[in-house]
Structure 1
Amino acid sequence: MGLTWHNPNTQVLAEGPELTIQPPTLRHSGPTDSTHRFRLDDAQTQQLIASYQAGSTVYQLADQFDIERRTVSAILHRHEVPMRRRGLTDNQIDDAKRLYQQGWSLARIGNHMNVTADTVRARLLERDVIMRDTQGRPRTETSTAAGESR
């Protein structure tokens, strides 16, 4: 039906250019069996710890070292590094409330304040702010309850 397979990695369209399909690339080189896990060496681990203590977030470090954020947290816990509480101060919650009432989305406020949209939502709900639906309308009691029960 218009496609002819010449090999598993190349498609040729009957009346068009050849398309090459690249196999997926591995995140880390080396053995690919399920027992192999990528590990940071001692110097990388010390750099990760120092960067965290200097103010980097676990998300930034995960990107920097190309590992999961849970791995960053595990390394910090294993080395007994005190974790910072991610959250919003009372003044930040007041600002978030003001921005939300001006029409900013939870995601935009979260990005602005370097926290997740869920964190912003939780703090605003604690302040009895009425959440908007996806069309920007205030949620009714039934839609708020339905949204929280998911």
Structure 2
Amino acid sequence: MQELVAAYEAGATVYQLADRFEINRRTVGEILKRQKVKTRWQLLTEADVDEAERLYAQGLSLARIGKQLDVSGGAVRLRLLRRGVQLRDRHDRS
């Protein structure tokens, strides 16, 4: 476990660690959580979701919004859907 934590803190991703230790990426996350390691991912605040909604309405893609907010486009998509935002057809991306 300490080797996994040290590698994560040195910059390895959860996916890289899962491959290296031959475990599921979720297991890596659980180990990091149990070891109280501060993870690099972050949750979107309500203010972030407000900003994401504004940017999306202006035509930015989910990926570009995610990049601006330092999260994945999938995280932005999920939060906008939960808020009830009607998403564009994928071919309308900026």
Q: Tell me the TM-score normalized by structure 2.
A: 0.64
> Is 1:109 aligned to 2:74, yes or no?
no
Higher helix share: 2
User: Shift in Å at residue 133 of structure 1?
Assistant: 0.3
SS at match of 1:135: helix
Over 6 Å off, 4+ runs: none
Higher RCO, Cα 8 Å, sep 6+:
2
> Is 1:61 aligned to 2:16, yes or no?
no
The count of aligned residue pairs is 84
User: Shift in Å at residue 112 of structure 1?
Assistant: 2.0
Q: Are the aligned partners of 2:49 and 2:79 in contact in 1 as well (CA < 8 Å)?
A: yes
Q: Where do 5+ consecutive residues of structure 1 fail to align?
A: 1-39, 138-150
> Is 1:47 aligned to 2:6, yes or no?
yes
User: Shift in Å at residue 109 of structure 1?
Assistant: 1.2
- Structure with max Cα Rg: 1
User: In percent, how many aligned pairs have the same letter?
Assistant: 37
* CA deviation map 1:83-139 (0-9, x unaligned): 7674200000011011111111111111222222221111112222111002329xx
Q: Tell me the TM-score normalized by structure 1.
A: 0.44
Higher strand share: 1
